[in-house]
């Protein structure tokens, strides 16, 4: 039998490894509005508490990069329409952001847009997503079935929650999402209304996660559950490995005022100190 030729390109493999090696694996110090719609509060708690290090494959990192580039391209396309005003950054050059629950709950929206031809007088939160063609076509179908303003909630619960939280915190009543395929070849949009009774429980959920000194109830006791088995915290949650040892997973520390963390033994903790931990470490039960 003839030998099957090796189809792996070592150069591209090296590129992949370089992308993975260059990624920043430093955990963010806050609970993010972009993830608050996740159905598993325990997962969000583990992330906020730095229970396990997260890293991404090269293919996933390339998807993120494509998303960032797509956002910039879509912003430029919107700004090319004379009637539209789009602001993606504040006067200090920073991306527009929200901060609540003593600064432990934060998020950054892609921008504010006004002058949409279908609603010229109403300012909207603007968010852009880059998805594969299958997911994009699902949004098209849901828009036809549920109407423009009902589609986002049916399409993606996490994106919908993000939209509601941003409208809630910025005091706006409309959200405009543009969704493009990779390379920005096709784009579809939906507008969404602010719904207080959807937004307020999400804000309460964030507070509960931040202030809890114990992990919330598991989404499922079955480690093979489809939402569990690919979770970044699967092994911690299902008692396979312990949580990473740092101040966030120590019983002595707690989220304090003004986005700080404090320790009952050592006072206010810097971000570097939180990562480092100390000899007095006593782990929270996972």
Q: Please name the residue that has the structure tokens 């159905």.
A: 39
Q: pLDDT: is 148 or 57 the higher one?
A: 148
Overall pTM surpassing 0.85 (yes/no): yes
- For residues 263 and 247, the answer to whether their CB atoms sit within 8 Å is yes
Q: What integer is the mean pLDDT of 259-269?
A: 97
Confidence category of residue 8, pLDDT binned at 50, 70, 90: confident
Q: In this structure, is residue 133 part of a structural domain?
A: yes
- Cα separation, 276 vs 266, whole angstroms: 13
Tens-digit pLDDT profile for residues 16-70: 999 999 998 888 999 999 999 999 999 999 999 999 988 888 888 888 898 999 9
Residue 63: give its domain's CATH number: 3.90.320.10
Predicted pLDDT of residue 184: 87
CB atoms within 10 A of CB 49: 27
- Cα separation, 127 vs 112, whole angstroms: 9
Predicted pLDDT of residue 187: 97
- Hey, what are 245's tokens? 């040892």
Q: 99 phi and psi, to 5 degrees?
A: -150, 130
Which stretches within 147-247 are classed as H helix?
Answer: 148-155, 157-170, 196-211, 234-237
Q: In this structure, is residue 27 part of a structural domain?
A: no
For residue 1, is pLDDT > 60? no
Tens-digit pLDDT profile for residues 74-87: 999 999 999 999 99
Q: What integer is the mean pLDDT of 134-156?
A: 98
Q: Is 267 left (phi over 0), alpha (psi -120 to 50) or beta?
A: left
Q: In this structure, is residue 280 part of a structural domain?
A: no
Q: What integer is the mean pLDDT of 176-197?
A: 96
Predicted pLDDT of residue 54: 86
| Domain hosting residue 193, numbered range | 58-205
Cβ neighbours for 286, distance < 8 A, ≥ 6 positions apart: 51, 215, 236, 237, 239, 242, 243
Structural domain count, the chain: 1
Averaged pLDDT score across all residues of the chain: 95
Tens-digit pLDDT profile for residues 97-121: 999 999 999 999 999 999 999 999 9
Q: What integer is the mean pLDDT of 228-256?
A: 95
Q: In this structure, is residue 231 part of a structural domain?
A: no
Q: In this structure, is residue 20 part of a structural domain?
A: no
Strands 97-100, 105-108: parallel, antiparallel or unpaired by DSSP? antiparallel
Residue 112's DSSP bridge partners are 87, 125
Q: 105 phi and psi, to 5 degrees?
A: -120, 115
Predicted pLDDT of residue 183: 87
For residue 286, is pLDDT > 80? no
Q: In this structure, is residue 245 part of a structural domain?
A: no
Confidence category of residue 172, pLDDT binned at 50, 70, 90: very high
Predicted pLDDT of residue 281: 97
- Cα separation, 249 vs 110, whole angstroms: 32
Q: In this structure, is residue 272 part of a structural domain?
A: no
- For residues 98 and 126, the answer to whether their CB atoms sit within 8 Å is no
Q: In this structure, is residue 173 part of a structural domain?
A: yes
Q: pLDDT: is 286 or 284 the higher one?
A: 284
Predicted pLDDT of residue 113: 98
Cβ neighbours for 231, distance < 8 A, ≥ 6 positions apart: 40, 43, 237
- Hey, what are 223's tokens? 């480690």
């Amino acid at each position: 039998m003839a030998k099957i030729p090796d189809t792996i390109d070592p150069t591209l493999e090296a590129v992949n490894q370089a992308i993975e090696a260059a990624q920043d694996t430093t955990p963010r110090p806050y609970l993010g509005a972009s993830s608050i719609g996740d159905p598993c509060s325990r997962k969000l708690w583990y992330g906020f508490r730095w229970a396990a290090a997260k890293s991404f494959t090269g293919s996933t990192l390339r998807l993120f990069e494509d998303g960032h580039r797509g956002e910039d391209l879509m912003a430029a396309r919107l700004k090319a329409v004379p009637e539209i005003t789009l602001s993606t950054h504040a006067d200090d050059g920073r991306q527009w952001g929200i901060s609540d629950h003593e600064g432990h709950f934060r998020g950054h929206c892609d921008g504010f847009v006004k002058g949409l031809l279908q609603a010229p007088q109403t300012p909207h939160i603007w968010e852009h997503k880059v998805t594969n063609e299958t997911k994009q076509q699902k949004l098209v179908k849901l828009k036809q079935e549920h109407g423009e303003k009902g589609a986002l909630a049916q399409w993606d619960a996490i994106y919908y929650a993000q939209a509601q939280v941003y409208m809630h915190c910025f005091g706006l009543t409309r959200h405009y999402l543009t969704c493009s395929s990779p390379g920005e070849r096709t784009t579809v949009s939906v507008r969404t209304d602010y719904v207080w009774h959807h937004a307020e429980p999400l804000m309460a959920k964030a507070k509960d996660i931040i202030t809890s000194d114990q992990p919330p109830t598991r989404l499922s006791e079955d480690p093979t559950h489809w939402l569990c088995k690919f979770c970044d915290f699967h092994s911690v949650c299902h008692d396979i490995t312990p949580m990473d040892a740092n101040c966030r997973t120590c019983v002595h520390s707690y989220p304090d005022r003004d986005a700080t963390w404090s320790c009952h033994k050592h006072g206010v903790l810097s971000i570097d100190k939180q990562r480092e931990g100390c000899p007095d470490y006593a782990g929270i039960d996972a």
